[in-house]
Amino acid sequence: MSNRFPEYKQFDLSQINKDVLKKWDEDDTFHKSMSTRKGKPTFVFYEGPPSANGQPGIHHVMARAIKDIFCRYKTMQGFLVKRKAGWDTHGLPVELGVEKLLGITKEDIGKSITVKEYNAACRKEVMKYTDMWEDLTHKMGYWVNMDDPYITYDNRYIETLWHLLRKIYDKGWLYKGYTIQPYSPAAGTGLSSHELNQPGCYRDVKDTTCTAQFKVVRDEASEKLFEDVHGELYFMAWTTTPWTLPSNTALAVGPKITYNKVKTYNPYTGSPITVILAKDLVNSYFNPKNAKLEMADYKPGDKKIPFEVVAEFTGRDLEGARYEQLIPFVKPDGDAFRVILGDYVTTEDGTGIVHIAPTFGADDDRVAKMAGIVPLILIDKDGKRQPMVDRTGKFFKIEDLDAEFVEKFVTESYKEYAGRFVKNEYDESLTADDATLDVDLSVMLKKENKAFKVEKHTHSYPHCWRTDKPVLYYPLDSWFIKTTAVRERMMELNKTINWKPESTGVGRFGNWLENLVDWNLSRSRYWGTPLPIWRTEDGSEEKCIGSTKELMEEIEKAIEAGYMEKNPYEGFEIGNNAKDNYEKIDLHRPYVDDIVLVASNGEKMFREPDLIDVWFDSGAMPYAQQHYPFENTDIFQDVFPADFIAEGVDQTRGWFFTLHAIATMIDDSVAFKNIISNGLVLDKAGNKMSKRLGNAVDPFESIEKYGSDPLRWYMITNAQPWDNLKFDLGGVDEVRRKFFGTLYNTYSFFALYANIDGFTYERPEVPMEQRPELDRWIISLLNSLIKEVGECYETYEPTRAGRAISEFVTENLSNWFVRLSRRRYWGGEFTEDKLSAYQTLCTCLMTVAKLASPIAPFFMDQLYSDLNEVTNKEEKQSVHLANFPEFDEKLIDKALEERMAIAQKASSMVLGLRRKVKLKVRQPLAKIMVPVLDEAFKAQMEAVKDIILSEINVKEIEYLTDSSGVIKKKIKPNFKALGPKYGKMMKQIAGAISGMSQEDIAGFESAGEFALQLGDENINITLEDVEILSEDIPGWLVANEGGLTIALDITVTDDLKYEGIAREFINRIQNIRKESDFEVTDKVNLQIMKNENFDDAVLKHKDYISNQTLAASLTLVDSLKEENARKVDIDEVETLIMVEKEC
């Protein structure tokens, strides 16, 4: 324990970072911050697991600073904060990394490298950068519990995932279905969107397109459409893939789009028809000139076809109307051929009515499902449901279909087309010149009066990067979680979550939930959590395994049945949750693939080869991080759900969703109560940071250079977390200078004088009411600050918290309190005023350290400790073990804060006036004059009078009242009061008020009301409707700002001049003392060379000068040698001063 506050020679936040880190490590402060809160209420934070196979970037510093702030804050509030670290270890990025490393492609897996070797490489690769991550975590001061992090590839973690999947399976929410995915018939494989986005995949191709006519069925729903129709009534829809028309089961219209009904003739058959299409597109199908043609004059074969718009509908009017199947090859099994709404329908091209073939379009499938429309499905000879096109890209041959199905659903007309390839490219025997299926189908429609327009059209279409042949969108098998079953519940629960910002919750996330589709869980990959489902070959029986125990038991049965020779997991002890026990087994591929189980009827069961979406891994972390329910069932209750999570806004449909979905399905609960979704960190020009562009900022370098405090402070205070941050290292430096520099200076100032005076805070607190105005003012502001900052942290607004602290430190504490208080600390007796000054400043610093410590944990801990080790006000070793300050409402004095604001404004105004007339602040002046229009204002001024006068170096204040007659007044309308009352007349009233004369104003004031004559209206206004200000004091030097008016008397009398000169001498002598490196406390002897300009002044103020400069003697001498003395210049007159240290 020391009784001197440490004084530093230099201010190096990078070094402080290292010193404090060392202290934390030695004292084990992080663990203490938890152990000291043992038994207290918990605050649960979930760490979104980063992937350790990528290097951490500067944006991680930002995201983790946000996380850290609230965990530290809650610790200070007395909570036991749970925050387990974790690693995300599965997924495509890992696989790609390994492939790059080994120089292989997906094709090689199973050929030149076994799945076993491949996955072993992934396991090793994925933890590549853990050291780097741990290092960053440490250096940036992110306190997260790394003792026992959860790792998603751990068998225990996977076991929990299996358990959760089993629970979902048991509820009937895990099922096998299909999704429309890009598929290459030529390669016989599905393509990922990643593969499709390879350069060159999208190519312009010329295809036959067809605008088909769908005949409207006349019934109750469509009756309104049938007025004034000639010929048959049709919906028109356009397609670039006519081969999908036989699979059409619906038409989609845009709800807000306007549609026209048009009478005309079919250009191919000449039959009279009436068609419906989007109003905006009428002109692209009909030449406007032809509108004038007489309908009756048309003869088949005429080039010019007349048309007439006869009605208008909205999309909603059309919804529900039915139509006849366009190409009745195969009958659908369920509701079909109905007009539905499609949110994505536009009038950019086509007809504004979209042909829907749910088996060949992802959007089609989605809107059809929502409207309850079935897809067009065939049953093949194995009894499997199939789209009309087989895996090789051709219409199914009749012999490949189920006979009973053909009998019941397939029509004669299909037979002519069965077996045809949908694209000539898929058939080796065909060339581009051969007739395509598209053309043949279009010709057929033309003949049947069902095609309105058939033409070639060039459009961009994706191609397979391996075969160069066109891709089909095709339904492929997938496993789904039926999230739609809990959609409503998820929406309800979402409303209870506090989202920062709110818009992400109700907007982005809320909309996402509203349009929720089932979660496609399948991934055809190698390195990930295997789907724990075993099926018989015909799919008649399946098993979802929910634990290793169950798997072991099933394996034993399979061995008994003779399907497996031995248990690959032999030696594993069921129920032993130790790490090494679980390391004996591997639940990954290929091991699980080799397990063949036995069905109840004795058949073999094989594992469904898919892996599950890695987002399930991370979304299940509340459970899996505890290996729940296999162990830690008691702990789990404590850490579910989370009080707080924070990740990038890009996780909205990722982690945020999967957490929410799994918690809703498993526990009918939210997974988190409060959430911050933060924006991106961009470079200073607003571009995305990337290593490739070379604009990425290295977090390690930045921390090394600046320390993490200014980095964190800058990131948090510069932009709201949810806004994108334009990251500029210049800004970090600014924060260092402006905020930390000022705070450090304030501390240094305090330490310097406190050590001189031996202040250690051991004397009792000076009662608040005995402290001077200035002290009570800063204490009031400090308490306001505690209140505000507490509220900000409480409502997850770190930016406001940081900005408020910064404002307090730089503006109020440093620039006003310390600046005005400086003289109170210099020399002299240890009076009560001095004690109060020390106590007040010390309290402020101590409190600021606590308030700011969640954001800037390093410097604030040093500041706290430096103060606390001398004062011993608290027993805590670290600010992070301290309690968050509580504000005292009684100490907040808004009136005091207000009048100090007036003092600040008044001072700045007078300083401005002085500058205008070039009168230095060191030159004392006699008085200022302030007009007072009411007593309350005078009382305010009176209370802060001394502060103002000393700040501006003026002797006196004089109040000018109304009766003095020298004040010129200004009157302004109060719009807020007048507006609601007089509305439209505001402009006239404002004009009339500003036109009032001095006499009018005086009369108004004494009467309390005033009659305005506006045209023939008479309006009575009261004093509440206006603001009356003093504007000018004629004949004086006046400043006027926001209602405050001050005049300055600039007469300099001899007395004032002498005092000014004395002050100049003090200033020069102090400078000399300092330049001579004297201690602040050294006594000196002074000699000043005589000069008629100064002598009187020096003699008159001899005591004053001596006092201020700690001079034991002051003598005026006739001459001084220049080599001993210093030349000074006062008002362009030179003299010599000698300052000698007294021995």
Partner RNA sequence: AGUCCCGUAGCUCAGCUGGUUAGAGCGCUACACUGAUAAUGUAGAGGUCCGCAGUUCAAGUCUGCGCGGGACUACCA
For residues 963-992, which are near RNA according to CB under 7 A?
975-976, 979-980, 983-984, 986-987, 990
Beta carbons of 182 and 470 less than 8 angstroms apart: no
- Determine whether 182 is an active site residue: no
Annotation marks residue 238 as catalytic: no
Site for RNA in 878-907 (CB under 7 A): none
Give me the helix-helix angle, 857-871 and 708-718, nearest 10°: 120
Instruction: For residue 648, give the H/E element and its range.
Output: strand 642-648
Assess 363 for contact with RNA (CB under 7 A).
Answer: yes
SS3 216: strand
Pick the catalytic residue: 24, 519, 655, 777? 655
Task: Report the residue number, 185 or 306, with the smaller CB distance to RNA.
Answer: 185
Structure-token pair, residue 704: 């090394």
Q: Which residues contact 740 (CB under 8 A, 6 or more apart)?
A: 11, 13, 709, 710, 713, 856, 859
Closest CA to 143 of 28, 24, 4, 30: 30
The residues in 664-693 that bind RNA, with binding defined as CB under 7 A, are 679-680, 684, 686-688
Q: From the list 4, 224, 691, 915, which residue makes contact with RNA (rule: CB under 7 A)? A: 915
Tell me the residue ranges of DSSP E strands in 442-546.
Answer: 451-462, 472-481, 498-500, 519-520, 522-523, 533-536, 542-544
The interface with RNA within residues 1036-1055 (CB under 7 A) comprises: 1042
* Residue of 495, 688, 916, 981 marked catalytic: 688
Q: How far is the CB of 1073 from RNA (least distance, A)?
A: 3
From the list 289-297, 489-497, 507-515, 1003-1011, the region that binds RNA by CB under 7 A is 507-515
Pairing of strands 272-278, 258-265: antiparallel
- 1109 interacts with RNA by CB under 7 A: yes
Question: Which of the residues 14 through 43 are near RNA (CB under 7 A)?
Answer: none
Q: Is 559 one of the binding residues for RNA (CB under 7 A)?
A: no
Both tokens of 520, joined, read 């496609």
Name residue 310's beta-bridge partners: none
In the list 171, 873, 1074, 1127, the residue contacting RNA (rule: CB under 7 A) is 1074
* Contact flags string 407-446 toward RNA, x per CB under 7 A: ----------------------------------------
Catalytic residue list contains 88? yes
Nearer to RNA, 131 or 349 (CB): 349
Among 459, 466, 489, 873, binds RNA (CB under 7 A): 459
Structure tokens at 945: 């009078």
Determine the Cα angle at 603 with ends 597 and 607, to 5°.
40
556 binds RNA (CB under 7 A): no
- Among residues 68, 82, 88, 893, which one is catalytic? 88
The residue (of 329 and 722) whose beta carbon lies closer to RNA is 722
Contact predicate 929/936, CB 8 Å = no
Tell whether residue 283 is a contact of RNA (CB under 7 A).
no
| Beta strands per DSSP E along 707-840 | 725-726
- DSSP codes joined into one string, 705-742: HH-HHHHHHHHHHHS-TTS-EE--HHHHHHHIIIIIIH
Q: Which of 192, 222, 1070, 1085 binds RNA (CB under 7 A)?
A: 1070
Give residues with Cβ within 8 angstroms of 76, minimum separation 6: 850, 853, 854, 880, 882, 883, 884
Overall residue count recorded for the chain in this entry: 1143
Nearer to RNA, 983 or 1008 (CB): 983
Restricting to residues 204-233, which ones interact with RNA according to CB under 7 A?
209
Q: Which of 912, 991, 995, 1003 binds RNA (CB under 7 A)?
A: 912
**Residue position matching structure tokens 């006003």:** 816
* DSSP state string for 975-1036: HHHHHHHHGGGHHHHHHHHHT--HHHHHHHHHHSEEEEEETTEEEEEEGGGEEEEEEE-TTS
Contact letters for RNA, residues 936-965 (x by CB under 7 A): ------------------------------
Would you say 38 or 976 has its CB closer to RNA? 976
615 is catalytic: yes
Is 423 a residue of the active site? no
- Residue in 1079, 1103, 1122, 1134 binding RNA, rule: CB under 7 A: 1079
Query: Would you count residue 812 as binding RNA (CB under 7 A)?
Result: no
Q: Which residues, 6 or more positions from 764, have their beta carbon under 8 angstroms from its beta carbon?
A: none
Annotated catalytic residue: which of 181, 325, 386, 651? 651
- 4 sits near RNA (criterion: CB under 7 A): no
Taking CB under 7 A as the rule, does residue 697 contact RNA? Answer: no
Task: Report in angstroms how near the CB of residue 115 gets to RNA at its nearest.
Answer: 27
The closest of 910, 929, 931, 770 to 837, measured between CA atoms, is 770
Two tokens at 161? Answer: 């995932």
> Rule CB under 7 A: is residue 473 a binding residue for RNA?
yes
- Residue 1115 interacts with RNA (CB under 7 A)? no
Catalytic, out of 22, 691, 873, 920: 691
Q: Are 674 and 500 in contact (CB under 8 A)?
A: yes
Q: Are strands 1009-1014 and 1017-1022 parallel, antiparallel or unpaired?
A: antiparallel
> Coil, strand, or helix at residue 1025?
helix
**Min CB(822)–RNA separation in Å:** 5
Closest-CA residue to 756 (of 1022, 1080, 344): 1080
Hey, how many other C-beta atoms are within 10 angstroms of the C-beta on 105?
Answer: 9
Query: Environment class of residue 434 by beta-carbon count within 10 Å: exposed (0-12), middle (13-18) or buried (19+)?
Result: exposed
Q: Which residues have CB under 8 Å from 410's CB, separation 6+?
A: 329, 330, 331, 378, 398, 401
Asked if residue 494 binds RNA (CB under 7 A), the reply is no
Active site residue 10: no
Q: Which of residues 39-68 bind RNA (CB under 7 A)?
A: none
Residue pair 302/323 in contact by the 8 Å Cβ criterion: no
Please report, for residues 550, 623, 820, 912, 920, the alpha-carbon distance to residue 905 in angstroms, rounded to integers and kept in the order given: 78, 59, 14, 11, 19
Residues 844 and 824 sit within 8 Å (Cβ to Cβ): no
Interface with RNA includes 917 (CB under 7 A)?
no
Stretch binding RNA (CB under 7 A), from 406-414, 440-448, 500-508, 768-776: 500-508
Structure tokens belonging to residue 543: 């098993």
In the complex, what is the shortest distance from the CB of residue 278 to RNA, in angstroms, rounded to a whole number? 9
Q: Considering only CA atoms, which of 545, 549, 547, 548 is closest in space to residue 597? A: 545
Residue pair 561/601 in contact (Cβ under 8 Å)? The answer is no
Q: Residue 1130: which H helix or E strand, with range? A: strand 1126-1130
**Does the bond joining 93 to the residue before it have cis omega, within 30 degrees of 0?**
no
Q: For residues 703 and 17, give the distance between their C-alpha atoms in angstroms, rounded to a whole number.
A: 9
| 293-301, 484-492, 815-823, 1122-1130 -> range binding RNA (CB under 7 A) | 815-823
Among 55, 632, 815, 1093, binds RNA (CB under 7 A): 815
664, two tokens: 């809703």
Q: Is 116 a catalytic residue?
A: no
Piece of the chain touching RNA by CB under 7 A; list 263-271, 390-398, 619-627, 909-917:
909-917
**At its nearest, how many Å lie between RNA and the CB of residue 919?**
9
Cβ 91 to RNA, closest distance in Å? 13
Question: Which residues in the 147-206 window bind RNA by CB under 7 A?
Answer: 180, 193, 197
Interacting positions 526-555 with RNA (CB under 7 A):
none
Candidates 1067, 1085, 1091, 1093: give the one binding RNA (CB under 7 A): 1067
* Choice between 545 and 944, CB closer to RNA: 944
- Which residue of 488, 553, 758, 826 would you call a contact of RNA, by CB under 7 A? 826
Q: Is 504 in the site for RNA (CB under 7 A)?
A: yes
* Binding positions for RNA, 343-362, rule CB under 7 A: 343-346, 348-350, 352, 354-355, 361-362
Closest distance to RNA from the beta carbon of 1050 (Å): 16
Q: How far is the CB of 744 from RNA (least distance, A)?
A: 9
- Residues 714-753 interacting with RNA (rule: CB under 7 A): 718-720, 722-726, 728, 730-731, 734, 737-738, 741-742, 745-746, 748-749, 752
Indicate which residues carry an active-site annotation: 49, 88, 615, 651, 655, 688, 691
